[in-house]
Structure 1
Amino acid sequence: MNGKIGTTQAAMLIVNTILPTAIVVLPAIISNYAEQDAPLAIFLSTLIGLGIATLVGTVVRYTNGMPFLDWIRKRSSPVVAFILGLLMLQFYLDIASTILREFINFTKDNVLVKTPATVLVILILLITVYMVRQGIEAIARVNSFVILLYIFFVPLFLFGLLGYIDIHRLLPLFDHSPAALTLASLTPASWMSEVGVLLFLAPYLKSPQKARFIGWLGLLTLFLLMLMILVPTLMVLGPDYIKISAYPGFSAAGIVRIGNSFERLDILFLSFWVLSIYLKLAIFLFATVECFKQTFRVDTSRPFIGALGLLIALECLFTWKDSAMLNTYNREGRFLVFLLFNAALPLILVILERFRWFKPKRKGWDS
């Protein structure tokens, strides 16, 4: 059963909507373009993300907590809402499948090397489907607890790396052209745009009018956490190593040791990351289910959660079977797709509503 979630809970959902896959994928991509100036790329992408959060939050304020596609149906027509719903359903199915694939790839590369991908997909989806069936309020409560654990893990990560940090690996500063920094910021900006999930969380917010603040708070928290992870990793490993490493953040975590009693703490960080990625996958499966529910106007989505999970599993296993293709998509294609649905769509809706080009449905139409 889905209850309402508070402003802080929603902001923390935004953090875990982006961070788990971002810290795995982004450092290597950003470093290819910006090297030691990678923190500047994170800063630029956060500015873009804040702009997108403003657009998304404005649309949520217009809906005032009404389900997104129901609002589109009310302001335009059932046909427009249905077509848009189908497009967004495909978009969210694709996001969830790529998250699952990144989860599988990381697990097979680092932990369960010989376990078949099919077995991992089944186990992960069974747990995720169970989480979604508990509702967004339960997911938000667990997520808030996980975010609080950063208070323990981030200082542990920083303290454990103190003896290996070389600040000279960040020099020279501002060594890259604006064009290189722009290219480096495009991919992280696409991850920041995942704040667009607020469109489908809106009916469960206690204060939909605070949606812009929710997006801003979530992205600023994410910005700080990304810097706390990326900058020490750069100072320990250097930009040249990060460019060729598949998972530089976890390579840095593998160095962490405290005295002679506590070493190889990377398994502790790995366990925490697995918990975070489960929550991210649950959030996007929930958004996918909500999109399906609003598109086809079903009273309850519970019978369809497993079926949608099966579609995600099939896309994960067959469409994204090639890791190189997924990496190319993350580096070159993701920005365009995310920009279309998470930035361009809210911008168009804001313009239409601001200039009152939307027309309410006529009486007698199917509502």
Structure 2
Amino acid sequence: MNGKVGTTQAAMLIVNTILPTATVVLPVIISNYAEQDAPLAILLSTFFGLLIAALVGSTVSRINGAPFLTWVGEKSSPVIGTVLGLLMLQFYLDNTSTILREFVNFLKDNVLVNTPISILCTLILLITIYMVRQGLEAIARVNSLVILLFVFFVPLYLFGLSNEMNVHQLLPMFDHSLAELTLASITPTTWMSEVAVLLFLAPYLKDPKRARIIGWSGLIVVALIMMFSLITTLMVFGPDFIKLSTYPGFTAASIVHLGRFIEKLDILFISYWVMSIYLKFSIFLFATVECFKQTFRVGSSRPFIGALGLLILLECLYTWQSTEKLNLYNKEGRFLVFFLFNVLVPLGAIGLDRFKKGKPKQKGWET
């Protein structure tokens, strides 16, 4: 049985639900539209993200810790709950497979150049399945430790780049129109909408009524870290380099050095990122398993984790084998899909609850 997760731990889970892939994918996309005004696009997307977090938090508060799809089925009909569950299961399978592919692509490009992708995917998946089988509480404890390590890496990163940063690279500011900033903020907003994973973490929260605070806290931390990463990278390389680089943040980390005797610390930052994305992958695999459990109304999902993992592995290897195809999806296709499932679904749940407001309120659910 999974233990309950506290409010602070849940907020930290939201941070690593969004941040690891966002730091890899978003800088290039944002800079193509906003260049040195990229931090303004982060602020705009954070505003929209906080609105989505309020929407998701209100939904979780209304269901009061109930399994989301079970609650939908009881409020409407079992058929509607099952159909929605199948659609959301496909969504989470797709999303989890893209996370795995982004993880593998990064390792293949930067660390394990000669290792076959199939071997990398299989090893990562086996480790993550083991993590998920330990339960959400165990994932949350490890996640909290990993985020606390960030306190060590920030001063090291800043000190190592102190002689390389030039504030004039941020000028001229406010040089882009509102339309350009809006285009730059669309893709980051889709990443912020991943806060909707709270819908499937709800049964494991100690206080589901604080879901809105959990979402807001997590998104604010994500925005601050993204702003920090973008501004420091801009100050080191300028906007033109970021548009051309595949992983600008890690390129900046590669030139971190302490004096003349400690250099090439990028492997340290890469190791930290690997720990973070393992946690992101485990959170989404857990949500996928929970979605399957609620859709098919099974008592225990443990026997099905391996089968779901195999589906994710196959989709990762064969659907997203083209890096260009994945990048195009991240830039142009992700917004519509994420808006549908991360915004319209909780919005529809709130509308359903108001429509059925005359029914007796449900009591808290046990997991």
Q: Output the TM-score relative to the length of structure 2.
A: 0.97
Aligned partner of 1:23: which letter?
A: T
User: What is the match of residue 285 of structure 2?
Assistant: 285
Q: How many Å apart are 1:227 and its aligned residue?
A: 1.1
Q: Residues of 2 paired with 1:348 and 1:295: CA distance? A: 18
- The 1-side partners of 2:100 and 2:358 are apart by 37
Cα deviation, residue 270, structure 1: 0.4
Report the CA distance between 1:352 and its aligned residue: 3.0
What's the offset of the Cα at 1:222?
Answer: 0.8
TM-score, normalised by the number of residues in structure 1:
0.97
- Asked if 1:19 corresponds to 2:19, the answer is yes
Q: How many residues align?
A: 361
What are the superposed Cα offsets for residues 160-202 of structure 1, whole Å, 9 maximum, x if unpaired?
1110111111111110011100000000000000000000000
- What is the percentage of aligned positions where both structures have the same residue? 70
Residue 76 of structure 1 is matched in structure 2 by 76
Q: Partners in 1 of 2:208 and 2:133 — Cα distance?
A: 23
Deviation at 1:244, TM superposition (A): 0.6
Give the CA deviation at 1:348.
2.1
Cα displacement string for residues 196-226 of structure 1 (whole angstroms, at most 9, x for unaligned residues): 0000000000000000000000000111111
Map 1:90-109 to 2 at 5 A.
90-109=90-109
Q: Which residue of 2 aligns with 1:142?
A: 142
Distance 1:350 1:358 in 2: 14
**CA distance in structure 2 between the partners assigned to 1:160 and 1:355 by the alignment:** 57
Q: Is the 8 A contact 1:57 1:215 kept in 2?
A: yes
Tell me, yes or no, if the aligned pair for 1:198 and 1:211 is still in contact at 8 Å: yes
Offset at residue 241 of structure 1 (A): 0.3
Query: What letter corresponds to residue 350 of structure 1 in structure 2?
Result: I
Distance (Å, rounded) in 1 between the aligned partners of 2:155 and 2:186: 29
Greater displacement, 151-160 / 331-340: 151-160
Paired AA for residue 307 in structure 1: A
Cα RMSD (Å): 1.3
Structure 2 stretches lacking a partner, 5+ long: 361-367
For residue 353 of structure 1, report the CA deviation from its aligned partner: 2.2
Mapped to 1, the partners of 2:164 and 2:238 lie a distance apart of 11
Shift of 1:355: 4.5
1:193 and 1:342 in contact (8 A); partners too? yes
Judged with a 3 Å threshold, the aligned counterparts in structure 2 of structure 1 residues 314 and 297 are, in CA distance, closer, same or farther, namely same
C-alpha offsets along residues 112-138 of structure 1, whole Å, 9 cap, x if unaligned? Answer: 111111000110000000000000000
- Residue pairs, 1:24-63, within 5 angstroms: 24-63=24-63
- The structural deviation recorded for 1:359 is 7.0
1:344 Cα offset (Å): 1.4
The equivalent of 2:342 in structure 1 is: 342
User: In 1, Cα distance between the equivalents of 2:293 and 2:349?
Assistant: 21
Q: CA deviation at 1:158?
A: 1.4
1:74-223 to structure 2, matched below 5 A, reads 74-223=74-223
Indicate if the aligned counterparts of 1:81 and 1:295 stay in contact, CA closer than 8 A: yes
Query: Could you tell me how far apart the structure 2 residues matched to 1:358 and 1:160 are?
Result: 61
Q: Secondary structure at the match of 2:61?
A: helix
1:180-329 matches, within 5 Å, as 180-329=180-329
2:364 is matched with: none
Q: d(CA) in 2 for partners of 1:355 and 1:168?
A: 55
Q: SS where residue 223 of structure 2 aligns? A: helix
Q: In the superposition, relative to structure 1, how do residues 7 and 254 fare at CA in structure 2: closer, same or farther (>3 Å)?
A: same
